[in-house]
Amino acid sequence: MCKIISIINNKGGVAKTTSTGIIAQILAYLEKKVLVVDLDESANLSMMLNAYTEDSEAVINNMIPAEKAHVAELFRYRYRDTENVSNLIYPTKIKNIDIMPSSERHGQSQLYIQNNTGNNNIILKRALNAIKDQYDYILIDNAPAKDILTVNSMFASDLILIPVRLEEYSYKGLQETLNTVAYIKEEHDLENPKIGGVFMTQAETNTIIYKDLSTLYNDTLGDLFCRTCIRKDIKICEINKSFQPVLSYCPDSNAVYDYFKLIEELDILDDSGTAALKSCFGGE
């Protein structure tokens, strides 16, 4: 059964896109069929997976239709049938990963949503329902925003993962995200999404701030706070610049190793995935 996972934090630069891209690549490497959805108009995930097409001014101003329909059309036309939703999805160069890309014109999606009087929270959920049987995992990358698109992502998901970067104000962004999820679940009487975990990214594990803040997070969040943290690793910046598939470009990266460990800790794999993951660690 398909698991739909959103990577969310209202704060920018905490590694949402990097985490979505690398987790997708590891799951695909473990022979799982993965769809990634880019919900951010800055389209960094689409760039990372070589699926980005820049919008011309004429497309942005609605003078001509875009040649490649994507997530912006999903929200504009509120597609919910398999054929129309499938037309927004493209294969990537990485085996087992498809993408529903984004680009600048997705910035107008909020306007289209607001101008409609229907149920604006579940546009994405309804669309993904039409195609989710084709995938083991759907990962949704979000913009650093508390808006209707992020709310759509929450409604569509079984699990929320929250990357945090340990710095002074990081707790505020985290708390806002946790509060929004709790509010939506209570207000709409929903069982899902569950918080799959809060994990540290870009961690410099030998610093005092890391030690202090990780103790604070651990004491406050308890089991929600993942023991695995993703270490800061210059190779990650290189991948994001060169748009290389991470497992062929730098399989020996510390951060990639940490993402493997994180997936193990999150317990999101079925038996065959767990066996494949264990064999990556030499049966550890």
Ligand X SMILES: Nc1ncnc2c1ncn2[C@@H]1O[C@H](COP(=O)(O)OP(=O)(O)OP(=O)(O)O)[C@@H](O)[C@H]1O
Residue ranges in contact with Mg ion by CB under 5 A: 16-17, 44
Among residues 4, 14, 85, 159, which is the contact residue for ligand X, using CB under 6 A? Answer: 14
User: In angstroms, what is the minimal distance from the CB of 198 to ligand X?
Assistant: 14
Q: How far is CA 10 from CA 58, 142, 163, 214, in A?
A: 31, 9, 10, 19
Interacting positions 134-193 with ligand X (CB under 6 A) = 144
Residue 6's H or E segment, with its range, is strand 3-7
Instruction: CB nearer to Mg ion: give 44 or 153.
Output: 44
Among residues 18, 109, 120, 177, which is the contact residue for ligand X, using CB under 6 A? Answer: 18
Instruction: CB nearer to ligand X: give 58 or 237.
Output: 237
Task: Kindly tell me the burial class for residue 150, based on how many C-beta atoms sit within 10 Å of its own C-beta (0-12, 13-18, 19 or more).
Answer: buried
Instruction: CB nearer to ligand X: give 82 or 104.
Output: 104
Interacting positions 74-103 with ligand X (CB under 6 A) = none
Q: Which two tokens stand for residue 204?
A: 């410099």
Instruction: CB nearer to Mg ion: give 16 or 106.
Output: 16
Among residues 25, 202, 214, 228, which is the contact residue for ligand X, using CB under 6 A? Answer: 202
Instruction: CB nearer to ligand X: give 131 or 229.
Output: 229
Q: Which residue number is nearest to Mg ion in terms of Cβ? A: 17
Q: Check: CB of residue 163 under 8 Å from CB of residue 7.
A: yes
Pairing of strands 97-100, 90-91: antiparallel
Q: Which residue has the tokens 């264990």?
A: 278
Alpha helices in the chain (DSSP H): 16-29, 44-48, 57-60, 71-77, 82-86, 109-114, 123-129, 148-156, 170-187, 208-221, 234-242, 246-249, 254-266, 271-280
Q: Check: CB of residue 32 under 8 Å from CB of residue 81.
A: no
User: In angstroms, what is the minimal distance from the CB of 18 to ligand X?
Assistant: 3
236 near ligand X, rule: CB under 6 A: yes
Among residues 188, 237, 251, 281, which is the contact residue for ligand X, using CB under 6 A? Answer: 237
- Residue numbers at the binding site for ligand X (CB under 6 A): 12-18, 40, 44, 144, 201-202, 230, 232-233, 236-237, 240, 255
